[in-house]
Amino acid sequence: MSVPPQLIDYIRTYLSQGYTEQQLRPYLIQNGWTPSSVDEAFSIIFNRQVPVQTEHTIHIKGMGIIMGVLVVVIGLVGLLIYLLLPSAEPAQEMLLDYQIKISPAEKIKFPGEELAFETTLVNMGKTPRYDVVIEYSFSSSGGKTVETWDETKAIETVHPYTVRKVLPVTLAPGNYVLKGHIAYGDGLIARASDSFVVKNRESTTAPTCTDGILNQGEEETDCGGPCNACEKSCFDCDDTNMCTRDVCKEGVCTHIPITPCCGDNICSEGEVCIADCPSTKEPTIKVTATSIKEEAMDIASTDEESAGKYCNTLEKEVDKDYCFRVVAHGTENKNFCKFIISSSTKDFCYMKFATKGDNSVCPEISNEHLQRACISLGT
């Protein structure tokens, strides 16, 4: 039997990291490798000798009859083994093991310095080579993303390499988390992370409003507090009025009225809105993905329960499913996912919450690969 080289490389990598044969063998079999392939790979690595069976020739009268009986018996035994024993699942086409490691020497950095970390990609699937896009980011201890970037890598067997990234000179002191995210195959996800600390350099000069450091009670780096006021961002422009469009331009917020607006209790001319313009006979409206999304989110902004009722009024199953997914994601309420009929749409609805750290939705996902990916996001 020919053992795939990526299986041997994977076992050698993790044996060198301190894992034992007893730990690795069940993990590999669980992920699709046959027991015989795994045992043969360990035999090659440890240079074990396969015992050679000695053939004995029996010279008795009537050998032809005895051999015929033996062939029949062996055939029956083989058939029973085939029917009774479960067949091993084939190895997945794509299966990726992903690790990020920041060495102790790189754990403490200063703003503007280069951060070096080790990335290891291990191809555990049957596909010999494929490309993946790795999305990197690092965020503060409060969860605010500071910077993101990506790179494309070709996966063959075991691929360890060093990544170098220059930290911003304005990076504030504190604890940071480096994260890597890979989406590949049919809905599979691989994640890895490690942490590091950013400290200020020793300085004898007094803090100023131009030193590029968050200090002296500043709201943001070099603004607010004793410094000039920070520019107003677009995130400050939300007036919580669903009937205005909030625009931030050059630090100035404007709120542009939306007319007609469904939900303002005013039935404007030409407005088609059951909430504002109730009637005994509802007009025929062409239902589109855009109209469903706009109507559902307009209603959900004031009453989530009414948004769910609106979804149930849609005639087509696909429109109902889309409506419930939009409301679930828009209101960040996973309970709306359970009303979706299509299993693939329902899985997609729950995976959105899993990528945000809520792995309580994993048991609700029906697709086996997506459920494993969901569970891996919480580890």
Domain boundaries, the chain: 1-49+68-90, 96-198, 235-377
Q: What pLDDT is attached to residue 165?
A: 92
pTM of the model: 0.35
DSSP-based three-state secondary structure for 326 = helix
CB burial string 316-325: b at 16+ within 10 A, e below: eeebbbbbbb
The residue behind tokens 């009453």 is 303
208's tokens: 């100023």
| Residues near 365 by beta carbon (within 8 Å), at least 6 away in sequence | 347, 350, 351, 354, 371, 374
Q: What pLDDT is attached to residue 102?
A: 94
C-alpha 151/C-alpha 50 separation (Å) is: 45
Per-residue pLDDT reduced to its tens digit, 233-270: 555 566 777 788 777 766 677 888 887 787 777 887 77
Bridge partners for 174 per DSSP: 198
Does 359 score more than 60 pLDDT? yes
* Amino acid identity for residue 70 in this structure: L
Please give the average per-residue pLDDT across 163-171, as a whole number. 90
Per-residue pLDDT reduced to its tens digit, 149-160: 999 988 877 768
| CATH level 3 topology of 96-198 | Immunoglobulin-like (2.60.40)
Q: Would strands 130-140 and 252-257 be described as parallel, antiparallel, or unpaired?
A: unpaired
- Between these two residues, 38 and 48, which has the higher pLDDT value? 38
Mean pLDDT rounded to a whole number for the chain: 80
- Nearest C-alpha neighbor of 110 from the set 215, 201, 221: 201
- Between these two residues, 232 and 204, which has the higher pLDDT value? 232
- Between these two residues, 89 and 319, which has the higher pLDDT value? 319
Does 174 score more than 60 pLDDT? yes
282's tokens: 């509802």
